[in-house]
């Protein structure tokens, strides 16, 4: 019977419990390889990245967003990682926040249209790629980007009329 001490449960045999957890992790990794169709050898130097975020949208309905380079419906892991993105619509601007750790700001390539933001990073260690569909039309030429501690923030002013221009954004 586990004993409760300082908010944690300790079993009488810690090593036995730890071994049970290790076996469970191995089973889960085996399941991940089955889902992706990969072998341990083929994934040796690639990161496994998969996750999702859940939030309530402006209409009150839940919004689930997947990210990473492994998707349960696909076979195999991709070289490019889809970063976790959050889009915040304010009165006059739209802010896009992307988690892209492990890179330098000079490696980030951003392109904006009135309806989308393209985020691309291609370096030796990490590759990120995501096209974000914006909730409203924006002025691409007003874009300002900032990268700090693995978090990219892009701000774009909203507009009413449409143009087909694309604008390259400098990361500060």
Q: Are residues 94 and 165 in the same domain?
A: yes
State how many domains the chain has: 2
Q: Are residues 95 and 145 in the same domain?
A: yes
In the structure, what pLDDT confidence band is assigned to residue 46 with cuts at 50, 70 and 90? low
37 or 21, higher pLDDT: 21
For residue 134, the domain's CATH number is 2.60.40.790
Question: Cα–Cα distance between 19 and 21 in angstroms, integer?
Answer: 5
- What are the tens digits of pLDDT across the range 124-149? 778 899 999 999 999 999 999 999 99
Residues belonging to the chain: 172
**Does residue 111 belong to any structural domain of this protein?**
yes
Give the residues across from 118 on adjacent strands.
111, 131
**Does residue 4 belong to any structural domain of this protein?**
no
Question: Cα–Cα distance between 10 and 6 in angstroms, integer?
Answer: 10
Reduced to 3 states, what is the DSSP secondary structure of residue 13? coil
| Owning domain of residue 109 | 80-169
Reply yes or no on whether the pLDDT at 123 is more than 90: no
**Does residue 7 belong to any structural domain of this protein?**
no
124: enclosing H helix or E strand: none
- What are the tens digits of pLDDT across the range 69-119? 665 554 444 677 888 899 999 989 999 999 998 899 999 999 999 999 999
Q: Are residues 108 and 71 in the same domain?
A: no
Reply yes or no on whether the pLDDT at 42 is more than 70: no
**Does residue 1 belong to any structural domain of this protein?**
no
Q: Are residues 139 and 63 in the same domain?
A: no
Residues 6+ apart with CB under 8 A from 50: 66, 67, 68, 69, 70, 71, 72
Q: Are residues 104 and 144 in the same domain?
A: yes
Question: Cα–Cα distance between 38 and 72 in angstroms, integer?
Answer: 12
């Amino acid at each position: 019977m586990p004993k409760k001490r300082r908010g944690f449960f300790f079993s009488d045999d810690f090593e036995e419990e730890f071994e049970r957890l290790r076996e469970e992790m191995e089973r889960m990794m085996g399941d991940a390889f089955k889902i992706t169709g990969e072998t341990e050898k083929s994934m040796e130097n690639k990161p496994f990245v998969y996750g999702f975020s859940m939030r309530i949208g402006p209409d009150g309905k839940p919004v689930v967003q997947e990210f990473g380079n492994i998707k349960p419906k696909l076979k195999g892991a991709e070289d490019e990682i889809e970063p976790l993105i959050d889009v915040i619509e304010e009165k006059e601007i739209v802010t896009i926040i992307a988690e892209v750790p492990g890179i330098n700001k000079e490696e980030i390539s951003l392109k904006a249209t009135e309806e989308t933001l393209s985020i691309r990073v291609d370096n030796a260690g990490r590759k990120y790629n995501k096209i974000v569909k914006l909730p409203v039309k924006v002025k691409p030429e007003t874009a300002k980007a900032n990268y700090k501690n693995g978090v990219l923030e892009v701000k774009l002013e909203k507009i009413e009329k449409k143009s087909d221009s694309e604008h390259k954004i400098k990361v500060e």
